[in-house]
């Protein structure tokens, strides 16, 4: 199975091709802006390096959020365009699942994994995953990804039945860890990439693909409305 992975959801841009049970090619660059200019050249590079044409792909996988408003749309638009042009199925992967995949290499049961992502606001995006001891990574989430203020994090985890040892990954891991250390939790900050990587995304989808399995739709996963609103007069100048 050949899978093209894409990510522009947070503060990086990456593309990778999975095939023959391994990553054939990969490009990754940290960047807060500029993904719209960087992504397609990366796609061309990884496809060329892997010796794969877009029409030869079996799947395209892209992070759909949560993440940056514009970044999510860049990656999803690219995935949709390639899907239509090459007649290849495209699926979405949540940002938190993309980070959680493969974490079992450094986190073992009985630790629960918490992915904490920076929202660039007062709140943080979080999703907790159950320890399974499976080398394929944390798969089972306690609940969908959600936005919480740090002060409500401990009580939310308790409400989900989570206590004790918790490992935290993501670019808001330190922030979440500071809060949880004040309670009854034993905290470990995971030494792993804090943002998604297209190589992990492509591998995750390839290893978990089943036509009956429900992946994310190619719709941006926004956890709150945008700050900008349409004026009630539609932006027209008043007479």
- Average pLDDT of span 173-192: 93
> DSSP code of 141?
B
Distance CA(128)–CA(145), nearest Å, equals 8
pLDDT (tens digit, 9 = 90+) per residue, 37-69? 999 999 999 999 999 999 999 999 999 999 999
**Could you tell me the residue ranges of all domains in the chain?**
3-95+195-208, 97-189
pTM: 0.89
Contact between 197 and 11 (Cβ < 8 Å): no
34-38, 120-124, 176-180, 228-232: least confident range: 228-232
Q: In what order do the strands lie in the sheet with 186-189?
A: 146-148, 124-129, 112-118, 165-169, 186-189
- 3-state DSSP assignment of residue 5: strand
3-95+195-208 against 97-189: fold identical: yes
Write down the CATH superfamily of domain 3-95+195-208. ATPase, nucleotide binding domain (3.30.420.40)
Q: Write the class of the CATH domain 97-189.
A: alpha beta
């Amino acid at each position: 199975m050949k899978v093209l992975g894409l990510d522009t959801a947070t503060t990086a841009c990456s593309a990778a091709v999975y095939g023959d049970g391994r990553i054939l090619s990969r490009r990754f660059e940290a960047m807060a802006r500029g993904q719209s200019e960087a992504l397609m050249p990366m796609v061309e590079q990884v496809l060329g390096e892997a010796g794969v044409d877009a029409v030869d792909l079996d799947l395209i996988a892209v992070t759909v959020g949560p993440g940056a408003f514009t970044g999510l749309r860049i990656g999803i638009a690219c995935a949709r365009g390639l899907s239509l042009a090459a007649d290849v199925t495209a699926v979405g992967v949540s940002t938190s699942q993309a980070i959680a995949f493969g974490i079992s290499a450094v986190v073992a049961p009985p630790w629960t994994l918490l992915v904490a992502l920076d929202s660039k606001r007062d709140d943080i995006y979080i999703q907790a995953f159950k320890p399974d001891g499976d080398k394929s990574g944390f798969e089972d989430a306690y609940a969908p990804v959600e936005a919480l203020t740090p002060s409500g994090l401990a009580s939310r985890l308790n409400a989900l039945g989570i206590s004790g040892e918790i490992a935290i990954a993501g670019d808001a891991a330190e922030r979440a860890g500071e809060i949880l250390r004040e309670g009854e939790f034993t905290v470990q900050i995971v030494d792993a990439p804090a943002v998604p990587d297209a190589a992990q995304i492509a591998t995750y989808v390839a290893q978990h693909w089943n036509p009956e399995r429900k992946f994310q739709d190619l719709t941006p996963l926004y956890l709150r409305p945008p700050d900008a609103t349409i004026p009630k007069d539609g932006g027209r100048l008043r007479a």
